[in-house]
Amino acid sequence: MKSRNTKPKKGKSQKKKVAKFAFRFSFLVIKMLLIICLTISFALAGLAGGAVFAYIKNAEKLTPDKLTLDGFTSYVYDCNDEMIIPLQGSKNRDMVDLKDIPKNLKNAFIAIEDRRFYEHPGIDLRRIASAITSGGAHGGSTITQQVIKNITRRDERSVERKVQEWWIALHLERNLSKDQILELYLNIVFLAQNCYGVQSASKTYFDKDVSDLTLAECAILAGITQSPAYYDPFTTNGRENIKKRQEVILGVMKELEYITESEYQQAINENLQYADYNRRSADVITNQSYFVDQVVIDVMNDLMDAGYTRDEAYDTIYNGGVKIYTTQDLQIQQAMDEVFLNEEYFTKVNTKTSMPPQAAMVIIDPTNGHVKALYGGAGEKIGSPLNRASSSQVERQPGSTFKTPVVYGPAINERKITAATVIDDAPVYLNPNNRSERYPNNYDRRYSGLTTARYALTKSYNVVAGRIWDEYLTPDIALDYLKKSGIDRTNERYLSIALGGPERGINPLQLAAAYVPFANKGLYYKPITYTKVLDMNGNILLENKPQSTIVYDESTAYIITDMLKDVMISGTGTGARFSGGMPQAGKTGTTSNNYDKWFVGYTPYYVAATWYGYDQNTSIQSSEQGRANLIWRDVMAKVHENLEVKQFEEHPGIVKKTICTKSGKLASELCSQDPRGSTVRTEIFIAGTEPKDECDVHVKAKVCEAHTDEHGRPYLASYHCPPSSTTEKVFVKRRVPITNPSDFAAVGDKIYEYPNEYCPEHDPFAPYRNTPHRGEDSDDSENNDSDDYEGHYDFLEQEDRNNSNNYFRDIWYDTDINNSSDNIREDRISINNAKDEKDNSSNKDKDKKKDKDKDKDKDKDKD
């Protein structure tokens, strides 16, 4: 970066022109005298006069555009423009204008370094003469010569260098004013402790701006330059040495009448208050935070995108004196730091590994994508460890946190499903490489049966997510939504990505950003860590404006938010919920073998993602499985401590309907009679997607409770089952039956499924009411009104009885199970009469015999 105000000043008045002409004339005279003197002097010293002219001819021309300084300290600021940390490369330099430098400091340097600075043309002939008589290879340099020495970086002691330095000094003073040269000098001079220039030295030694230095402190800084190592105030001997040097300088200043006697005495006796060297070392020399690490990476990448080489970008950041304005909120960062520096969250419980547990977290403002805080590892940051929060090197599988942006969000936005859509959480076989294998499986390898999309997300069912991906979406659709949310995995077109198992993992920054659209009305913002970078002159070097993409409808975002609220109220995320009444929505994630634990969630204010695990894949122990939730909870509780409670904004395109959670349709009277409890609830829908039909899954049937099938269900009652054993019950009847017996046995709601068999213990042709099994005497024979049907089956032989039973069942299955008892009885009579008529012609003789023996058969015992 170029130093400030280095262009020659142009006079406007005639008086200035005359003065300028006089100066040039004097300069030419002095130059000719210098050449003559040098030629004679060096000739006497044995050096050919031609060599002098050769040195001058080869001397570097220092034009204003070449007067550049390097090693300026850059500064990083938070979102409130408060300075966070200086960035220093090889040099610690702060540029400062001459007008901001105290007069006492300027005079202190002039008094001890070049008392005739404003009188000579760049070289002091008196000092040159002293140098020649002492050997010609050394001598006191003017301030102008010291500027040249620092810019050309030539410090060898030789006659050639000295001659060229004198010559360049004369030319430099023709191009710059005295004040410009003094400004350059005071910004370039080395003052120990890697400080270049008086501003950085003032901050380092006295922790104050240079404009606030006292006279005593000015003399201290001016004294260091003669021998920085010897006069270093941060060394024990150096502090004693510089005090003596200070007194000498103050004496010269008094001698030159820069200060009065009283000012001299006051400065001599002033008790100097040096800055804390240890604090300065920690703040300036050692570690950057994880956040600043990411800022530097982002700025460097953007500079390279603007045409810088990697080295140029690095040098600009650490030596260019730039100002980087970040998105960091120090209060939010402090809340996060307090948790991550607390060892209680990271106590080692895993005896199977020597590694400590790690964690990382990111918090984003969803309204603009500004990253407010991040932390990249457990405990104190030492050196330059892996930034697990945002490094592109971090690729951890996200587990079930991916179900929201890959499955549920796209499917609802595409109007393929609603929150009420019912999907059968039952065994499926979606592994393309092995269709006989159940895949995917839920985490606990259990199946809940008919369940809504809302409940499946709340409980994080893999089967339902897999079926939505397979039956309602396509990979192109799902992965396009993910790409628009900042994660490009368009080549990973397989089911496992829907369950959180992509080949390429992600980091917490990417995951938090992917949830920004749900928290921000469907709008995604690319996460940014800085807003602008200014060069040392205040010009905009980089401007980082928010970049947004519409991912979901506002109504979709609201419905997903409402679903994710349930996760934290009654689902897998209850351990992450913090108190205080602030609405919260979120999703848990666990990867195979418990290698990773995630929690990503948001409030109306912020989105945050937390990862917990080990750097090398190691199973997380049961006692530490809730730590990702716990870290998220405690950090977000601190962040929201003083924020006003506000609600997620409801979209006007949302409608509410009372539905059944077993059909997803409008609730019927039977839905409230489900034996598990009412399945009626109020659900929200995008207008136009709400159900129009009434539940057809709940049905009522008369069953016999005397016996149950292998699944624990009662059998359908036949008319012969005794009233004491029969009752009406409500069941669910799947639209798509589970035909595989082992699969049906695996579902948790099988006991509530409509039974498909009739009671095998009571004869299907026995009288319907109050008739004991196989015609045994009834306990209520006086009120028995079914004598007309007694022993109706006796005419059948065993084979015919079996055939008749099959015939009966075939017809019974087609009857309406909701018919009244009388209608059912009439149907059964009709069926039996039909059978009688069918056999009547061939069995007339047998019928006559039956009639004759009727009384006898009544008293007969039945098997």
Q: Which amino acid is at 324?
A: I
- The yes-or-no answer on residue 554 being catalytic is no
Catalytic residue among 3, 200, 289, 400: 400
> What is the separation of C-alpha 520 from the centre of its chain, rounded to a whole number of angstroms?
15
Q: Which amino acid is at 439?
A: Y
- The yes-or-no answer on residue 400 being catalytic is yes
Residue 8 carries which DSSP code? P
CA triplet 119, 121, 124: central angle to 5 degrees?
A: 75
Q: Which amino acid is at 85?
A: I
Bridge pairing between strands 195-196 and 92-93:
parallel
CA triplet 622, 428, 468: central angle to 5 degrees?
A: 85
Taking alpha carbons only, the member of 488, 544, 608 closest to residue 295 is 544
H helix intervals, 680-820 = 741-746, 798-812
Q: How far apart are CA 482 and CA 490, in angstroms?
A: 9
Q: How far apart are CA 713 and CA 707, in angstroms?
A: 8
Q: How far apart are CA 468 and CA 178, in angstroms?
A: 78
> What is the separation of C-alpha 69 from the centre of its chain, rounded to a whole number of angstroms?
39
Q: Six-digit token pair at 396? A: 């951890």
Q: How far apart are CA 212 and CA 202, in angstroms?
A: 9
Ramachandran region, residue 631 (left: φ > 0; alpha: ψ -120 to 50; beta: rest): alpha
E strand or H helix that includes residue 159: helix 159-175
Full strand arrangement of the beta sheet holding 74-77 = 83-87, 74-77, 323-326, 530-534, 540-543
Q: How far apart are CA 513 and CA 518, in angstroms?
A: 10
The full length of the chain comes to: 863
Taking alpha carbons only, the member of 739, 660, 737 closest to residue 421 is 660
Q: Six-digit token pair at 450? A: 């008919």
Question: Which string of DSSP letters, residue by residue, matches 749-774?
Answer: TGGGBPP-SB-SSS-TTS-SSS--GG
Q: Six-digit token pair at 381? A: 């940051």
Catalytic residue among 3, 113, 485, 718: 113
Q: Six-digit token pair at 627? A: 């730590």
Phi, psi of 583 (to 5 degrees): -60, 140
- What are the residue numbers of the active site? 113, 400
